[in-house]
């Protein structure tokens, strides 16, 4: 009888010890969040900083590990290799920055039939390129944070800040993953400017040699260069484009946040670090709250844009300098209402 009681007691001790050990393991588990991004594209670096800052401020910060997997070139072979390495690390979740890396990652996960949760950042029109089923209900294992590009809002801002514009150049990556969307945006911009007798030329480029050779040979013929954020080229070569525009006294209109740092005359963009913070917030819901990416709506940052005017480079490029008039013109445009109190002047 006593032996039986001892056995029951021993089993109970083992069960209680196991439960305590399991509880301790779960409560002290440190998640492995991989960030796929470029180490040479400024906006990717800013998004990564935002991810790290969001993780450091999270209520789960002691259990939230962030590991960067960085590629140095916008090259499909190198990006694919980094995606392979990220998958092999068996992460709890992957945050993928940019359309190219996210598409490659999506293809690899499908090919291997893996359901690793993915939160993407900086992917325009993910439904159209086949990453998710819908913005409201993504399906599969992928959701994200989206910053939508409105080409017509950008065009309106050009006329407000530089009303005398006559010739606009839009360089773009002819081999980029989003080339169809870029061309569609350029057509909309052309159609918008047509009644104002503003000429818009699209310049296809496919390498750094192209950028230097073609861009330098024609830049002096234009009074404004516009970069489209959904185009990979503008992320890769913004620094060079900004310097060349400044050298030739041509206005550079940037739609990515790094334009502020690079000295673009006009920057109309969302804070990249804020996008990174939102991405880690989405990741937390998946990892710690058990929300499935399949039913987690894509988080939209449509009204998070700000306008930055660098007065030094704007004056060189012949932009309007009447800030009060610019503010009134913006206020009169219904589609630019979200810019109220978001116009920043850099002297």
More confident residue, 328 or 283: 283
134 shares a domain with 59: yes
Band the pLDDT of 242: cuts 50, 70, 90: confident
Would you say residue 255 lies in a domain? yes
| Res 44: pLDDT | 87
Q: Can you tell me the mean pLDDT for 324-336? A: 85
245 shares a domain with 332: yes
**Beta-carbon count within 10 A of 242 CB:** 24
338 shares a domain with 189: yes
Q: For residue 133, give the DSSP letter.
A: S
Sheet architecture: strand order including 224-226:
199-205, 167-173, 224-226, 251-254, 266-270, 305-310, 343-346
Q: Give the domain CATH number at 63.
A: 3.40.50.2300
Would you say residue 8 lies in a domain? no
| Res 76: pLDDT | 82
Tens digit of each residue's pLDDT (9 = 90 or more) over 49-66:
999 999 999 888 888 889
Cβ 194 vs Cβ 166: under 8 Å: no
158 shares a domain with 86: no
Say if residue 208's pLDDT is above 70: no
Which of 61-70, 91-100, 310-319 is the least confident region?
310-319
**Distance in angstroms (rounded) separating the CA atoms of residues 105 and 166:** 42
84 shares a domain with 44: yes
**Distance in angstroms (rounded) separating the CA atoms of residues 62 and 50:** 17
Cβ 47 vs Cβ 279: under 8 Å: yes
276 shares a domain with 140: yes
**Distance in angstroms (rounded) separating the CA atoms of residues 297 and 139:** 10
pTM, two decimals, is: 0.70
Paired residues of 94 in beta bridges: 34, 118
Q: Count of domains in the chain?
A: 2
- Structural domain of 248: 151-270+305-346
What secondary structure, in 3-state letters, does 285-318 show?
Answer: HHHCCCCCHHHCCCEECCCCEEEEEEHHHHHHCC
| 13-17, 36-40, 312-316, 340-344: which is most confident | 36-40
Say if residue 220's pLDDT is above 80: yes
| Res 119: pLDDT | 96
Which of 14-23, 199-208, 216-225, 249-258 is the least confident region?
14-23
341 shares a domain with 296: no
Q: Can you tell me the mean pLDDT for 254-277? A: 80
**Beta-carbon count within 10 A of 121 CB:** 31
């Amino acid at each position: 009888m006593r032996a039986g009681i001892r056995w029951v007691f021993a089993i109970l001790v083992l069960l209680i010890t196991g439960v305590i050990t399991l509880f301790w393991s779960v409560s002290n588990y440190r998640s492995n969040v991989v960030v796929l991004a470029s180490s040479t594209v400024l906006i990717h670096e800013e998004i990564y900083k935002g991810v790290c800052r969001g993780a450091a401020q999270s209520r789960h910060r002691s259990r939230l590990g962030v590991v960067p997997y960085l590629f140095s070139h916008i090259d499909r072979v190198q990006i694919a290799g980094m995606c392979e390495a990220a998958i092999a690390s068996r992460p709890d979740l992957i945050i993928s920055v940019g359309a190219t890396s996210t598409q490659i990652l999506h293809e690899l996960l499908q090919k291997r039939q893996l359901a690793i949760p993915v939160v993407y950042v900086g992917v325009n029109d993910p439904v159209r390129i086949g990453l998710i089923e819908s913005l409201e209900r993504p399906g599969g294992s992928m959701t994200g944070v989206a910053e939508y590009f409105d080409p017509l809002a950008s065009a309106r801002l050009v006329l407000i800040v530089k009303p005398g514009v006559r010739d606009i150049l839009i360089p773009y990556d002819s081999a980029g993953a989003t080339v169809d969307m870029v061309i569609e945006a350029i057509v909309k911009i052309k159609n918008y400017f047509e009644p104002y007798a503003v000429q818009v030329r699209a310049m296809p480029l496919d390498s750094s040699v192209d950028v230097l050779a073609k861009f330098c040979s024609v830049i002096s013929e234009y009074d404004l260069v516009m970069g489209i954020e959904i185009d990979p080229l503008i992320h890769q070569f913004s620094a060079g484009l900004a310097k060349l525009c400044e050298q030739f006294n041509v206005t550079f209109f940037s739609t990515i946040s790094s334009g502020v740092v690079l000295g673009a005359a006009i920057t109309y963009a969302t804070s990249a670090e804020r996008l990174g913070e939102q991405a880690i917030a989405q990741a937390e819901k998946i990892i710690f709250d058990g929300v499935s990416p399949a039913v987690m709506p894509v988080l939209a940052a449509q009204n998070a844009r700000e306008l930055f005017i660098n007065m030094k480079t704007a004056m060189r490029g012949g932009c309007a300098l009447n800030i009060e008039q610019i503010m009134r013109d913006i206020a009169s445009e219904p589609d630019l209402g979200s810019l109220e109190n978001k116009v920043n002047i850099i002297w």
